[in-house]
Amino acid sequence: MKTLENLDNLIAFDTVSHKSSLDLIAYIEDLLEASAFRAPRLPAPYGTKARLNAENGPEVDGGQLLSAYTDVVPVGGQICT
């Protein structure tokens, strides 16, 4: 149930390209840190977005490092299909 609730919340953040993704990033940081991940934030140079790495386990070769981006491409105002 917790998974579905988290997915609901993750897709509900309005992170369409021209908007800030920082509220979503903060939300994920909380989730990761509650699950014993380290989650260093890598701010984008223009300040309204950030990327997040998720690290777990010892910091050695072969450790876990997850990375994903949160950008959502808007469906309006473009010709791509």
> Which residues of the shown chain bind another protein in the complex (CB under 8 A)?
8-9, 12-14, 19-20, 22-24, 26-27, 29-30, 41
- Helix/strand/coil for 73: coil
Return d(Cα 57, Cα 72) in angstroms, integer: 30
CB of 12 to another protein, least distance (A): 3
CB of 74 to another protein, least distance (A): 15
Nearer to another protein, 3 or 81 (CB): 3
Nearer to another protein, 62 or 77 (CB): 77
Nearer to another protein, 9 or 64 (CB): 9
Q: Are 25 and 39 in contact (CB under 8 A)?
A: no
Question: Residue 16 has which token pair?
Answer: 């369409």
* Strand arrangement of the beta sheet that strand 50-56 belongs to: 41-43, 50-56, 64-68
